[in-house]
Amino acid sequence: MGKPHQPLSGTRHVSPCPPGQRREALLCLAAAHDPALQSALSGAVKAMMNAPDQAWEGLWVSDTAGQLTGAIWVQPLPMNMAQLWLPNATGAHARALLRAAHAWVEKQPIRLCHLELSPQAAETETLLLEHGMQRLVSLVHLIGSTHCRLAMKEARPLTLQPLGAFSQAEQINLLAAVGHDSLDSVPLRDVLSVNELLAGFHQQDPQAPLHWYVVYYQDALVGVLLLAPRPLLNRWELMLMGLIPEWRGIGLGRALLNSAMAVAQQAGVKEVILAVDEVNLPAKRLYQQAGFRQYAQQRLLAWKGGGERSEGLINA
């Protein structure tokens, strides 16, 4: 959070942003974020440009003596998810905006309103925890060269087929099986259904399913691989890689990571990025053995809203 636009004086008022002040509020909001987040915020705002006024109900502003002094935005996402964009304010202004946004989220059919913070943002994290946010997971961000391969004691040839050939119900059931007993993002999986997690993957990049695969070994369905191009970074992201429990522990994880790197390399990509739960030590070791190195770390915090868990089509 940056400095407030003016010292706190007069009567402070927090309210939903009037449509006529939306541009000013969003400019105020943009000033709160570093360049990387400003780009993401700009993309989020552009995606909402033609949205009706009702879709902007999560944008709140504070004013003192009629002058706008801060803004906070609960950005709506698919499946009743939301992302929080923090205010360009400090002290009493920031607290007032956080209280208003939290109270509003609790009354909405929002499953989860989240944001990511770097470990260096300790003061902001403390403020958010004071206003009802919960720590969900700490993510380690890794990057690796697509030229690297893990050594295999025994060949484990895998076959990749498009995930899109499966029905939605089959996709959700497969992801549920892959997530069973996984060490990755356990608190997040406890909150969100597989259907909601899949919707989150779609929201990140609508074109990403072009590189989503089901994985076969010896004609048996054994797992899933989700890759996504990140053109602005000139890299690909490994969104999800996992095996059905009965196929773990025999070297297929190493073979699957090699397959992921090969697919990206064949597409002309030089580097792959990914995020792994800090507590998932086996996965971290695997990636490190493949030459991945850490370049960032983020903590995922969230408010839980009034929405009910959407189980989707798992039992369809």
User: DSSP letters along 10-23, please?
Assistant: S-EEEEEPPGGGHH
Looking at the chain, the whole-number percentage of residues with pLDDT higher than 70 is: 87
Q: What is residue 4's predicted lDDT score, i.e. its pLDDT?
A: 41
Per-domain boundaries in the chain: 12-110, 141-297
Evaluate if residue 7 carries a pLDDT over 50.
Answer: no
Q: Per DSSP, which regions of 158-219 are E strands?
A: 159-162, 212-217
Quick one: which of 205, 203, 210, 197 has its CA closest to 233? 205
Half-sphere exposure at residue 301, Cβ-oriented, CA atoms within 13 angstroms: 23
In b/e form, how buried is each residue of 208-243, taking b as 16+ CB within 10 angstroms? bbebbbbbebeeebbbbbbbbbbeeeebbbbbbbbb
The two beta strands, 112-117 and 81-85, are parallel
Residue type, position 137, single letter: V
Q: Given pLDDT bands bounded at 50, 70 and 90, which one contains residue 208?
A: low
pLDDT (average), residues 208-226: 93
Same fold yes or no, 12-110 and 141-297: yes
**pLDDT per residue over 260-278, tens digit each?**
999 999 999 999 999 999 9
Residue with tokens 């370049």: 295
Q: What is residue 290's predicted lDDT score, i.e. its pLDDT?
A: 96
Tell the burial category of 300 from Cβ atoms under 10 Å away from its Cβ (0-12, 13-18, 19+): buried
Evaluate if residue 311 carries a pLDDT over 60.
Answer: no
Quick one: which of 199, 282, 215 has its CA closest to 255? 215
**pLDDT per residue over 242-257, tens digit each?**
999 999 999 999 999 9
- Torsion, CA 79, CA 80, CA 85, CA 91, rounded to 10: -150
Query: For residue 7, what are the contacts with CB-CB under 8 A and spacing of at least 6?
Result: none
**pLDDT per residue over 148-182, tens digit each?**
999 999 999 999 999 999 998 899 899 999 988 87
* CATH topology assigned to domain 141-297: Aminopeptidase (3.40.630)
Residue 167, token pair as written in the block? 């029905």
- Give the chain's mean pLDDT: 86
Considering the segment(s) 12-110 as one domain, its CATH architecture is 3-Layer(aba) Sandwich (3.40)
**pLDDT per residue over 48-79, tens digit each?**
988 999 999 999 999 888 888 889 999 998 77
Query: For residue 12, what are the contacts with CB-CB under 8 A and spacing of at least 6?
Result: 62, 63, 64, 69, 92, 93, 96
Looking at the chain, the whole-number percentage of residues with pLDDT higher than 90 is: 58
Q: What is residue 65's predicted lDDT score, i.e. its pLDDT?
A: 81
pLDDT (average), residues 221-231: 93
Q: Given pLDDT bands bounded at 50, 70 and 90, which one contains residue 9?
A: very low
Residue 40, token pair as written in the block? 């993401």
Evaluate if residue 313 carries a pLDDT over 50.
Answer: no
Q: Given pLDDT bands bounded at 50, 70 and 90, which one contains residue 197?
A: confident
